[in-house]
Structure 1
Amino acid sequence: MSADEGPRSTATGPRLDSPGRIHRRKALTRDDMLRAALRIVDAEGVEALSMRRLGKALDRDPMRLYRHAPSKDALLDGIVELVLSELRVSTMHDGNWEATLRATAHAFRAIAVAHPNVVPLLVTRPLAAPLALRPRGTLRLLEDLLELLVGAGFDPDGALHAYRLYFGFLQGHILNELQERVHDPDETDDLLRLGLHHLPPREFARLRSLASALASYDGARELDEGLDIVLGGLRGQLASAA
């Protein structure tokens, strides 16, 4: 290679900066790999992710990636762990467990809105293995919420019931909100914005008539309205137990 050809690299080997000098690349970490995988999923969807595609994005031999994720299932679990690591359950202040659950719900919603292509993984990946065999990072939220609820005065069984009710509502809300994303945000007519004009008027008259209400959907406000009901019910259960 002549001196003016510049540095050269390969996907698997070191880079030659100049004759006789070898620049070794930084070792690939699991976190580097997972963040690159998340970028692919965010941009192109889960279907676009493969070890070959990820290797190309990282400029690495795909076979080397298996050191950090022995299968695509493990890679998907790692993405879920990475995304959930952004979520922290706040410490309960002044005994206000309801405010903590409300803040956690909004934080979860913010993560889901930022990574909509990951939401199906957040809902379905926990189903792929028994509870105790799931990646530790996916269980941290459950442990933290149970600790919060027991600290609020629920007995352990009651805390588990409260978690199921709370988190089931939260997941359902997120899935529903993402389903109602605007089809064409630049269109001024609500029917066209949502793509409802494709539906036969005689078969879907009621749905088409709700175009304005659907187009004005406010996910954060709807979340708070649902939390009012869920937290009110849990408050009543806690008072009855006391």
Structure 2
Amino acid sequence: MPQNNSELKNKRVPLNRETIIAKALEIADEEGLENLSIRKLASALDRSAMALYRHFGSMEEIQQGVVARAFTEVDTAPVPGERWDDTIRRTTASIRRMHLRHASAHLYLAEGAAWDPGLREHTERVQSLHGNQGIPEDILTRAWRIIDAFLSGFIVNEISEMEHADSLPAADKPAWLDTVEAAYSEQAFNDGVEIIIAGIRGLAAPDPCEWRTPTED
């Protein structure tokens, strides 16, 4: 028997901040965060725009929520006994993988300062992780700045390279293009992280940098 409108309405997903953000990320993954709108999101949820505004005050707030949700996928859990440099390798690689999973969403368009709503919880998790390892505050501050700059530039350019791959006819490709494109690869990313880690050791010298996540009692 066909379902009536009342039955269909009752089967709709309950509308709350979590379901709105989940759908917003789904649309962003398909069309890009820059193409997300209240009207489009409301239609996908089978609700009115006004219903969404009861949970969020603006499209910008929803975009920040999308970024925050995506960053919960990043591996920032403390690993007892883990060295600080291995933590940096793990967390930075996880951030890159998250962005690549959501490459079409262009999450970086909504990312801002570390204290913005979309990044605040992630920032606090990583700061706490390294703070508990005993990294001196001044070294952590300097390390954070350079890692953030590296990640931002690398990820944006890597995604751009992915989106424009093979757009140039083979006959028109210069000989040096392969080298340039290889600048944004997993190997290049790992090399960049190793250079940063070496630089942090240099900044901290003569500290032996024996910083680790506390072991469980």
TM-based fold match above 0.5: yes
C-alpha distance in 1 between matches for 2:89 and 2:7: 54
- 2:74 corresponds to which residue? 87
Tell me if 1:7 matches 2:3.
Answer: yes
C-alpha distance in 1 between matches for 2:181 and 2:164: 10
Tell me if 1:222 matches 2:217.
Answer: no
Unpaired runs of 5+ in structure 1?
A: 10-14, 185-192, 200-206
Q: Give 1:125's match in structure 2, choosing from 111, 116, 134.
A: 111
Give the letter for the 1:69 counterpart: F
Tell me if 1:54 matches 2:41.
Answer: yes
Question: How many aligned residue pairs are there?
Answer: 208
C-alpha distance in 2 between matches for 1:16 and 1:140: 39
- 1:236 corresponds to which residue? 202
C-alpha distance in 2 between matches for 1:114 and 1:198: 31
* TM alignment of 1:73-222, pairs within 5 A: 73-119=60-106, 121-122=107-108, 124-127=110-113, 131=115, 134-135=116-117, 138-181=119-162, 183=164, 193-195=166-168, 208-214=174-180, 219-222=185-188
C-alpha distance in 2 between matches for 1:89 and 1:181: 26
C-alpha distance in 1 between matches for 2:34 and 2:151: 25
SS of match in other structure, 1:181:
helix
C-alpha distance in 1 between matches for 2:196 and 2:182: 23
Deviation of the 1:116 alpha carbon: 1.4
> For the structure 1 residues 26 and 197, does the alpha-carbon distance in structure 2 shift closer, same or farther, using more than 3 Å as the test?
closer
- 1:70 corresponds to which residue? 57
Does the 8 Å CA contact 2:28/2:104 hold for their aligned counterparts? Answer: yes
> For the structure 1 residues 157 and 123, does the alpha-carbon distance in structure 2 shift closer, same or farther, using more than 3 Å as the test?
farther
C-alpha distance in 1 between matches for 2:25 and 2:186: 25
SS of match in other structure, 2:78:
coil
Does the 8 Å CA contact 2:32/2:104 hold for their aligned counterparts? Answer: yes
SS of match in other structure, 2:206:
helix
TM-score scaled to structure 1, two decimals?
A: 0.74
Give the letter for the 1:65 counterpart: L
Coordinate RMSD, CA, aligned:
2.8
Bigger radius of gyration, 1 or 2? 1
Q: Which has the higher contact order (CA 8 A, sep 6+)?
A: 2
- 1:204 corresponds to which residue? none
* TM alignment of 1:35-46, pairs within 5 A: 35-46=22-33
